[in-house]
Structure 1
Amino acid sequence: MASIIKAPVFDTAVYAGRRARLMAKLPENSVLLVSSATEITRSRDTEFAFRQDSDFNYLTGFPEPDALLILQKSASGEITELLLCRPKDELAEIWQGRRFGPEQAAQQFALPAVSNEQLTQEVQNALNQKTTLVYSQGLYSKLDDLVSSTLATLRNYPKKGYLAPSQQLDLRPIIAELRLFKDEAEIGLLQQACKISADAHKQAMRQCKAGMWEFQLEAIIRHHFAMQGAREPGYNTIVGGGENGCILHYTDNNAELQHGDLVLIDAGGELAGYTADITRTFPVSGKFSPEQAALYQVVLNAQYAACAAVKPGNSTKDTVAAAIFELTKGLLELGILQGELEALIKEQACKKYFIHGLGHWLGLDVHDVGAYKVNDVERPFEPGMVLTIEPGLYIPKGSACEQKWWGLAVRIEDDLLVIKDGHLNLTDTAPKEIAAIEALMAGLQ
C-alpha cells in the first residue's frame, strides 16, 4: 500500500499572519464578523459531510460548524480577536463526535475563545460604538438575522450608550484579494492535493477497459483520494465516456464504457480544504484511433501554448490568444473549420467547438476567489497565483463537419503556480502525451 501523504503540521502563526494582513486593510474603529459554515441536511436527520466555509478556514483553520470569528480594530488601531464556538457537551459528543470547546480551541488555534451561547451579547458588544461593520451579508441567514437585530437594538437605545456602525463593507472582495496570492502553507497543501489527484488519474488509466461503467472509474479515483487522506473530492467527479464528454458538467456517470470511445475525466481531491482540478482524456481500450489522436493533439498543442504564456507580466489575454491560435489552426488543418486562418482567429470560429473559458483561479475553492480584471483590464499574472489551463474541443453528433469527428470530446487541464520566472505545473505527473498515455495503459509504465 502506498504511504499516505500527510498535510503539513498546523501552524497557528500562519493563520495569525493572515488575520493581521486582513485587518491592516480595514479602517480604524471597525469590526469584522466571519461565520463558519453550517451543517446541511441531506435527508431527514442526516447531514452532508461538513465542509468549512473557505474564508473562515483561511483565517482560523477551525473545523467545526456554529462558530463565529470577531475581529475588532479600535480607533487607535489596536486589534482584538475572539472565537465563539460550541461548548463542550458530553451527551452531544457521545452521539455526534468530539468538540473542541472554548478552552481547547483557545489553546490549539491561538485565539481567545468563548462559548457561542454568548453570541448575541458578544456581537452587540463588538458592534457598539464602531464606525464600520465588515461581513459577508447574504451568505448565512442566521448571521444576517443576528446583525439586523443587533443594529436595530443599537439604533433604538442611544440613551443606553448604544451607537450602531454608520458604514458597512463587504468582506468578500477584501479577503478575495488576499486569498488570490497563496502563501507557503497553501502552496504546500496544493502541491500535495495535486500529487494525490494526478496519481488517481493514473490509476484510472491503468484500470480502464471496455465494459466498465463510468461510475467504476469514478470509484477508482475517489478511492485513491480517500486512501491518501483527501477524503472528499473538491467538486463532483466527471467521467464522460464517448459523447457524454461533450456535456461539460456531466456527473451522471452511469453509462457503460464502449470499445473505441474516449473517456473524459475531470476530477480533483481536496486536502485540508485545498483542491486540485485535473482533466485527462484517454481511449477506453488504451489506443487512440487516428481521428481521436488528431483531435487530441490539437487540444494538447493549445494547452502547451497557453501554459507557456503563464508568467509574470502576461495575463489571461495572452493565454487565451495562444490557445485560440492553436485550436483554430488545428481545426482548419483537420477540415473541421474552413476559411482563412487569420479571419477565423479574428472571429474566434473555434468557439463553436471550444465552448467554455480557458481556466480559473484555484485554491480553497475549485473556482477560487479573486478578480480577473482590474479597472476592466485583465490583471497580469504575479507570483503566488494558482490557476488552471483547460482548453477543450467538443464535437457532438450533427455538427457541421465530417461524421468521423462526431461524438469526440477532448479536454486537458493542469494546475499552474505562477513563480518569478514563469510557472510550475503542479499536475504534470498525470500523463497527457499520446505515447505516454498509451504506454501507461499498456502496463509499460
Structure 2
Amino acid sequence: MRDQSHLQHSDEPAVHAARRARVADIVGRDGVAMLAATPERNRNNDVDYPYRPNSDFRYLTGFCEPEAIAVIAPGFEAGDYILFCRARNADQEVWIGRRAGPDGAMADYGADQAFAIDEFEDWIGRLLDGRCRVYLSFGTHPEFEQGVLDQLSGMRSQGRGGVPPREVVALDGLLHDMRLRKSEHEVALMRQAAATSARAHIAAMQAVRPGMYEYQLAATLHYTFENDGMHWAYPSIVGAGENACVLHYIENSAPMADGDLVLIDAGAEYRGYAGDITRTFPVNGRFSDAQRELYEIVLAANRAAIEAARPGEPMNAIHQAALKVLVAGLIDVGLLEGTVDEAIDAESYRAYFMHGTSHWLGMDVHDVGDYKVDGEWRLLEPGMALTVEPGLYVRGQDNPSSRFADIGIRVEDDIVITETGCDVLTVDVPKDVDEIEALMAKPYRSETP
C-alpha cells in the first residue's frame, strides 16, 4: 500500500487522460488551457518544505514534480496535451532524486509532446496565437499567471507573437466542478485513505495513557500513516482537556491528565486524496458521567446528520439536522435556555457549537466546490464526498462552574453520497461509548512493517 506519490500507478494515466479530454471538450479548438504546478517553498535557509503540487495540477496530470506547466490546446500542431517539465540532469539527480524529463512525461504521463521548462517562453506565443480564449487558474502560481497575462498584453499592444486570445477565462471553476463529483476510482482511493486513518485512530485509543504528551499520541497516528506509505493530509490535532476546545489546535505539546478527554482530528493522504476523522475519548479509558452525557448528544447529532445526507437534499440539510439535536441536548443539560427554535433563531448555541457540520472532501481536506448555486444551497448528488462533524465545546474560562467545563467533543466521519443515501467511509472507527471503552481496555500493539 506504499503511496509513492511521485510515481504513476497502472490505471492512472488513463484516468488523467479522461479528465483532460473533458477539459479539452469544453475548451474547444478555439481555446487553450494553461496550468502550472505550485512552486517549491523554502522552509529555512537551504531546506524546502516537502513538495506537493497543487491539487488541480495533479488532478489533470498525475505529475508530481515542481517546475512544470500543463497545456491543453485541442488541435495544436504539437499535440492536444503538452507538458513542460524539468530536463534530465545527471548531477542534480544524484543530489535530489530522479526526474521524468520530457521523454518520461510522454512515456509515463501521457503527454503528446513534452519539452524542457526553459522552452516555455519560446512556445507561449505559438500556443496563444489564433485562440479565442485562454483558460487560467489564479492564485496557485502568481508569477506564471502574470507572465501569461504579460504575454497577452504584449501581443495586443505590440503585435508580438501572433493574434492573441480575446478572453481570459477562469479554469478553476471548470476543474472544481469536475472535482466535486468523485468517480468510482476516486472513491476507492478515498476509501484507502479512510482505512489507514481509521487504523491510526484505533491505535491512538489503545496507546493513550495519563501522563503521555499530546505529541506522543500524534506520533502513534503518524507512525500508522507512514507504515502504510502515506502521510498526514493536514497537521494533526491532538488536544486534551481545555485544548480540545480550540478548534484548530496543532501545538500538540501538553501532557494529558487522568480524567481528561482527548480530541483527535487527523487523517492520512493516499495518492493525493485525504481522509479526515475526528474521535474524542477519555485518556484513562473511562468516560465520566458528565463526559458521557455531552458525548451522547454529539454522537446523536452525528447520526442524525448522516441520516439527512441523501441525494436531492440541500447541502445545509446535514447541518440543520445536527444543529437541532445539539441545541435540544444543550437545553436538556442546562447550558441553554428557551426552546430549540428560539435558541437557533438567537444563535445562542454558537457559544458551544461555532462551526459548520460539513465540508467537501477530496484531494484537499477542505475540498473545492461551491456550496451554493445562484444563491441557493447546492443539492447533494451521488459522488459528492463530504465530512459530518458536529461538536460541542464548553470552555472553562466562560463556564468555570459548569460540570462540563473544559470538555470539547467532536465526532467526524467521511461520507460519499450514493443513489439512495450515503456510504460512511470511516465506519471502522468506534464511536459508541461502550465500544470505545472496550477497545481502550485492550492492550496496544504497534504495527510492524
Q: More displaced, 8-17 or 386-395? A: 8-17
Aligned residue in 2 for 1:279? 278
What 5-or-longer segments of structure 2 have no aligned partner?
445-449
Aligned residue in 1 for 2:221? 221
Deviations 1:223-255 (A, max 9, x none): 10011011x211110000000011110001000
Aligned residue in 1 for 2:447? none
Residues 328, 349 of structure 1: 8 Å contact kept: no
Deviations 1:10-62 (A, max 9, x none): 43111111111122223541111011122111111111110111011000101
Q: More displaced, 100-109 or 342-351? A: 342-351
What 5-or-longer segments of structure 1 have no aligned partner?
none
Please say if 1:11 is aligned against 2:27.
no
Aligned residue in 2 for 1:84? 84
Aligned residue in 2 for 1:373? 372
Aligned residue in 2 for 1:329? 328
What is the CA-CA distance between 1:344 and the residue it aligns to? 2.3
What is the CA-CA distance between 1:6 and the residue it aligns to? 9.2
Residues 264, 411 of structure 1: 8 Å contact kept: yes
Aligned residue in 2 for 1:154? 155
What is the CA-CA distance between 1:339 and the residue it aligns to? 1.7
Aligned residue in 2 for 1:389? 388
Deviations 1:268-301 (A, max 9, x none): 0111111101000000000000000000000000
Q: 1:80 to 1:393 in 2, by over 3 A?
A: same
User: Aligned equivalents of 1:161 and 1:335: distance in 2?
Assistant: 72
Q: 1:249 to 1:356 in 2, by over 3 A?
A: same
User: Aligned equivalents of 1:21 and 1:322: distance in 2?
Assistant: 36
What is the CA-CA distance between 1:439 and the residue it aligns to? 0.4
> What SS does the corresponding residue of 1:403 show, helix, strand or coil?
coil
User: Aligned equivalents of 2:396 and 2:206: distance in 1?
Assistant: 29
Q: More displaced, 61-70 or 393-402? A: 393-402
Q: Residues 161-310 of structure 1: matches in 2 within 5 Å?
A: 162-230=162-230, 232-310=231-309
Q: Residues 408-427 of structure 1: matches in 2 within 5 Å?
A: 408-427=407-426
Q: 1:152 to 1:375 in 2, by over 3 A?
A: closer
What is the CA-CA distance between 1:444 and the residue it aligns to? 8.0
Residues 120, 146 of structure 1: 8 Å contact kept: no
What is the CA-CA distance between 1:348 and the residue it aligns to? 3.7
User: Aligned equivalents of 1:296 and 1:284: distance in 2?
Assistant: 14
Residues 214, 256 of structure 1: 8 Å contact kept: yes
Amino acid at match of 1:127: L
Deviations 1:181-225 (A, max 9, x none): 111221111000000001000000000010000000100001100
> What SS does the corresponding residue of 1:430 show, helix, strand or coil?
coil
Q: 1:6 to 1:294 in 2, by over 3 A?
A: farther
Q: More displaced, 130-139 or 318-327? A: 130-139
Deviations 1:56-104 (A, max 9, x none): 10001011010000111359xx971100111000001011110011112
User: Aligned equivalents of 2:340 and 2:368: distance in 1?
Assistant: 36
Residues 324, 348 of structure 1: 8 Å contact kept: no
Q: More displaced, 402-411 or 216-225? A: 402-411
Please say if 1:438 is aligned against 2:403.
no
Q: 1:89 to 1:390 in 2, by over 3 A?
A: same
Q: Over aligned residues, Cα RMSD in angstroms?
A: 1.9
User: Aligned equivalents of 1:305 and 1:280: distance in 2?
Assistant: 17
Aligned residue in 2 for 1:128? 129
Aligned residue in 2 for 1:30? 31
Aligned residue in 1 for 2:98? 98
Q: How many residues align?
A: 439
Aligned residue in 2 for 1:48? 49
Residues 212, 256 of structure 2: 8 Å contact kept: yes
User: Aligned equivalents of 1:46 and 1:276: distance in 2?
Assistant: 28
> What SS does the corresponding residue of 2:414 show, helix, strand or coil?
strand
What is the CA-CA distance between 1:110 and the residue it aligns to? 1.4
Residues 30, 74 of structure 1: 8 Å contact kept: no
TM-score w.r.t. the length of structure 1 is 0.95
Amino acid at match of 1:121: D
Moved over 4 A (4+): 3-8
Amino acid at match of 1:260: G
Deviations 1:323-369 (A, max 9, x none): 11100111111111122233223434322210111110000000000
> What SS does the corresponding residue of 2:281 show, helix, strand or coil?
strand
Deviations 1:388-413 (A, max 9, x none): 01000000014358521110100010
User: Aligned equivalents of 2:246 and 2:97: distance in 1?
Assistant: 40
Amino acid at match of 2:303: Y
Please say if 1:58 is aligned against 2:75.
no
Residues 3, 271 of structure 2: 8 Å contact kept: no
User: Aligned equivalents of 1:62 and 1:342: distance in 2?
Assistant: 51
User: Aligned equivalents of 1:227 and 1:164: distance in 2?
Assistant: 51
Deviations 1:401-444 (A, max 9, x none): 85211101000100001110110000111111000100000018
User: Aligned equivalents of 2:121 and 2:216: distance in 1?
Assistant: 49
User: Aligned equivalents of 2:409 and 2:223: distance in 1?
Assistant: 24
Amino acid at match of 1:65: P
> What SS does the corresponding residue of 2:22 show, helix, strand or coil?
helix
Q: More displaced, 180-189 or 290-299? A: 180-189
Aligned residue in 1 for 2:337? 338
Residues 391, 411 of structure 2: 8 Å contact kept: yes
Q: 1:5 to 1:103 in 2, by over 3 A?
A: closer
Identity %: 38
User: Aligned equivalents of 1:219 and 1:441: distance in 2?
Assistant: 18
> What SS does the corresponding residue of 1:34 show, helix, strand or coil?
strand
User: Aligned equivalents of 1:41 and 1:64: distance in 2?
Assistant: 16
Q: More displaced, 288-297 or 148-157? A: 148-157
Residues 5, 192 of structure 1: 8 Å contact kept: no
Q: Residues 305-316 of structure 1: matches in 2 within 5 Å?
A: 305-316=304-315
> What SS does the corresponding residue of 1:69 show, helix, strand or coil?
strand
